[in-house]
Homo-oligomer: A and B are copies of this chain.
Amino acid sequence: MGVAERKEREKQKRKELIIRAAEKVFFSQGFERSTMDDIAEEAELSKGTLYLYFKSKEDLHISVVHKVGSRLKASMMGIENLDEDAFEKLVSMGRATIEFANKFPDQMKSIMLLESFELQQTSYSTSQLKDVIFKDSPVGIVIRIVEQGVKEKLIRADIPAPLIAHTLWMQMLSVVRFVSTKSTLIKMLELTPVQVYESHFELVLNGIRS
């Protein structure tokens, strides 16, 4: 009798529904401004019900950001299989990230916020940790591209590939953060975001060249 299974599926559906409603509310009003009542109304459920599926507003927020993160990752999945060398792929991934940040600035900010916070407070087992890091974040892809680059003798082999990959990803996030938070400064320096990004690629790729 598949009743339990169906209920399980329905539960998951409700959860998704709530996440969708919360995403809508969070990104239209901002996290702080959004109340659980707003989200409940958007989801056409009562507030109490939200707490059956998420233990707190913060918990719901994390689910939303995870969802956004996996969307960014999805937008990059194609790049790994292109017929390009490692450097070209890394630049393509960078450009995809920039494009995402331009199209969905708030979503990008939330991803960066997640990357800054999550692991310090939550405690995962080692195996769960792998999932968390590699499921939503694009860093898993970057690692494989760096490994490809080491094989191609394009990227230096004296530093472990995963470390290079994480460094690249952090640096990518930091330049996106810079452009989005310091745009006034960039104008003041008589630069454009494009110049900042291009210099970033130039500096960073020069650093990892073998």
Contacts and interface: CB of A to CB of B under 8 A. Distances in A.
Interface of A: 112-113, 115-120, 124, 126, 129-130, 133, 159-160, 162-164, 166-167, 170-171, 173-175, 177-178, 180-185, 188-189, 191, 195-196, 199-200, 202-209
Determine how many copies of this chain the complex contains: 2
Given A171-B174, A204-B207, A117 B181 contact: yes
Contacts of A124: 184
18 contacts: A116-B177, A117-B181, A120-B180, A120-B181, A126-B188, A129-B185, A130-B188, A160-B189, A163-B191, A163-B195, A164-B199, A167-B178, A167-B203, A171-B171, A203-B207, A204-B207, A205-B207, A206-B206
Nearest to A209: B206
Contacts of A159: 199, 202-203
Contacts of A173: 174
Contacts of A206: 206-207, 209
A170 B174 contact: yes
Listed from nearest, the 7 A-B pairs whose CB atoms lie closest are: A207-B207, A174-B174, A203-B207, A170-B174, A206-B207, A159-B199, A120-B181
A27 to B, nearest CB: 15
Given A119-B181, A159-B199, 17 more contacts: A116-B116, A119-B182, A119-B185, A126-B184, A126-B188, A129-B184, A129-B185, A159-B203, A163-B199, A164-B199, A166-B182, A167-B200, A203-B204, A203-B208, A204-B207, A205-B207, A206-B207
A51 B174 CA distance: 35
A175 B181 contact: no
Nearest to A127: B188
Interface centre among A118, A130, A177 (most CB of B within 10 A): A177
Contacts of A208: 203
Contacts of A162: 189
